[in-house]
């Protein structure tokens, strides 16, 4: 039986052309984030299953690739529950591992700590355009900063990175979990119904206001509560300043500091940004992770038709490990979707040195080969990118294949007789 040539469904092989682009983008990301004071770290690809299943990861906890116990620890015959056979899982994001990392090393780190983390994560998801079961995440997080300077710096660093990569017509949508809760409380929903309401609201861009109304009623909420809730969104359509409108309408249901905090974030980002993008208050933005406690944000790109990154404040996650809450906020770029868009747009890496190929005719004597290798070494010392390769019989086809890999100049060395 022949072995399978194709990768596992939802995972992919990366060809040289894409790999070159990925290396370039990772370099821009690291360079930009370092300029904002973020420090690279790395965490393992596997975590204890209890950490990953702590009811903080929302729907992602249903998508964990779980790792069976090994050797004598694994006894399928006597296993009565999942814990008897599973002890680890592949990480589904970088935030839970970061929280564990910080809890374990806080005494060795500065305060606040600005972390940069890039690495693959795994989700047993349904593959589709821009969505894989193994994919790269690029996160920046600020731990130990209780004020909104964290949100401001995260948004500025992320948007500066996207600007350097050539993106301009994108939005950063921003909201506050406490605003979502205040809107629900004002309308008359009970606190234990908030999650259900937010799950429906999160579908607004797909099913519209009428669809949200229909689903809320189908879920058993009363007409007067639903009407009062949807009335807020009708009012927002005619409000020049949606944030100010909600602050006035919600009254005591929304603390003044929440409105002022979000307004200061937006004003500060708009004053300091160096990339052309729009920062938009969006009260329908929910984000599915239950660990968010305050500000939430998301990148919307028209070319993709969906989210290309997001994040928010999660002040209570580290406390799950230590018993003491630590202010925390993070932003993740949708790396795979950014790469997809750049490839579809035919992006060319700027400033890359020309790629030159030395083609050596087969049968060249050793002395000539040594001379060619010495020339290649000298050219590389001058900053050139040189490929030394034997000349194929079908030289025309060989050059065409090399041209696809970005080689623009060919130097031929024929056998000396």
pLDDT per residue rounded down to tens, the chain (417 residues): 789 999 988 999 999 889 999 999 999 999 999 999 999 999 999 999 999 987 776 677 888 999 887 766 666 655 556 666 788 999 999 999 999 999 999 999 999 999 999 999 999 888 887 788 999 999 999 999 999 999 999 999 999 999 999 998 899 999 999 999 999 999 999 999 998 999 899 888 889 889 999 999 999 999 999 999 999 999 998 888 999 999 999 999 999 999 999 999 999 999 999 989 999 999 999 987 678 999 999 999 887 777 889 999 999 999 999 999 999 999 999 999 999 999 998 898 888 788 999 999 988 899 999 999 999 999 999 989 999 999 998 999 999 999 988 899 999 998 876
Which pLDDT score, from 0 to 100, does residue 363 have?
A: 86
| Tens digit of each residue's pLDDT (9 = 90 or more) over 374-414 | 999 999 999 899 999 999 989 999 999 999 888 999 999 98
CA distance 159 to 212: 31
SS (H, E, C) 79-135: CCCHHHCEEEEECCCCHHHHHHHHHHHHHHCCCCEEEEEEEEEECCCCCECCECCEE
Pairwise CA distance, residues 130 & 179, whole Å: 31
Q: What is the pLDDT of residue 373?
A: 95
The radius of gyration of the chain's CA atoms, rounded to the nearest angstrom, is 27
* pLDDT given for residue 73 in this prediction: 65
Indicate left, alpha or beta for 58 from its phi (over 0: left) and psi (-120 to 50: alpha).
Answer: left
Cα(237)–Cα(241) distance, integer angstroms: 10
Q: What pLDDT does 80 receive?
A: 56
Residue by residue, DSSP assigns 177-202 as HHHHHHHHHHHT--GGGHHHHHHHHT
pLDDT at 174: 97
The confidence score (pLDDT) of residue 122 equals: 95
Residues whose CB falls within 8 Å of the CB of residue 17, separated by 6 or more in sequence, listed in order: 404, 405, 406
What pLDDT shows up at residue 260?
95
Note the pLDDT of residue 78.
Answer: 59
What are the residue boundaries of the structural domains of the chain, listed by start? 13-169+302-352, 175-290, 355-413
Does the domain at 13-169+302-352 match CATH 3.30.930.10? Answer given as: yes
Distances in whole angstroms, Cα of residue 119 to Cα of each of 43, 92, 332, 404: 9, 11, 11, 28
Q: What is the pLDDT of residue 237?
A: 87
CA 321 from centre of chain: 24
Query: What's the pLDDT tens digit per position in 292-350?
Result: 999 999 999 887 777 889 999 999 999 999 999 999 999 999 999 999 999 998 898 88
User: Quick one: pLDDT at residue 399?
Assistant: 94
Say which DSSP state 63 is in: G
């Amino acid at each position: 039986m022949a072995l399978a040539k194709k990768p596992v469904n939802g995972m992919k092989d990366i060809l040289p052309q894409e790999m070159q682009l990925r290396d370039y983008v990772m370099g821009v990301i690291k360079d930009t984030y370092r300029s904002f004071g973020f420090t690279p770290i790395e965490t393992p690809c596997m975590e204890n299953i209890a950490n990953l299943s702590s009811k903080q990861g929302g729907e992602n906890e249903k998508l964990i690739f779980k790792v069976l116990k090994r050797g004598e620890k694994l006894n399928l015959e006597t296993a009565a529950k999942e814990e008897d056979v599973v002890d680890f899982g592949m990480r589904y994001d970088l935030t839970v591992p970061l929280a564990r990392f910080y809890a374990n090393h806080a005494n060795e780190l500065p305060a606040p700590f600005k972390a940069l983390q890039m690495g693959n994560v795994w989700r047993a998801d349904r593959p589709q355009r821009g969505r894989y079961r193994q994919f790269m995440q690029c996160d920046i997080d600020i731990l130990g900063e209780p004020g909104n300077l964290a949100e401001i710096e995260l948004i500025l660093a992320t948007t500066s990175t996207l600007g350097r990569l050539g993106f301009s017509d994108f939005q950063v949508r921003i909201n506050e979990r406490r605003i979502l809760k205040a809107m629900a409380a004002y309308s008359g929903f009970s606190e234990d119904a908030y999650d259900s309401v937010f799950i429906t609201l999160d579908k607004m861009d797909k099913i519209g206001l009428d669809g949200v109304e229909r689903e809320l009623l189908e879920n058993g909420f009363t007409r007067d509560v639903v009407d009062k809730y949807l009335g807020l969104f009708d009012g927002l359509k005619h409000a020049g300043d949606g944030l100010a409108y909600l602050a006035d309408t919600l009254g005591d249901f929304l603390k003044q500091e929440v409105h002022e905090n979000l307004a200061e974030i937006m004003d500060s980002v708009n004053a300091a940004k160096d990339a052309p993008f729009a920062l938009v208050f969006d009260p329908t933005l929910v984000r599915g992770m239950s660990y968010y406690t305050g500000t939430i944000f998301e990148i919307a790109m028209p070319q993709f038709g969906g989210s290309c990154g997001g994040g928010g404040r999660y002040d209570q996650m580290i406390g799950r490990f230590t018993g003491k809450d630590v202010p925390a906020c993070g932003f993740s770029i949708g790396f795979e979707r950014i790469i997809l868009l750049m490839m579809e747009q035919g992006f060319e890496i700027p400033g890359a040195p020309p790629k030159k190929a030395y083609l050596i005719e087969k049968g060249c004597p050793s002395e000539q080969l040594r001379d060619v290798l010495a020339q290649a070494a000298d050219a590389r010392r001058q900053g050139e990118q040189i490929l030394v390769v034997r000349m194929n019989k079908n030289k025309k086809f060989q050059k065409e294949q090399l041209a696809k890999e970005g080689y623009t100049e060919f130097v031929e060395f024929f056998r000396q007789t």
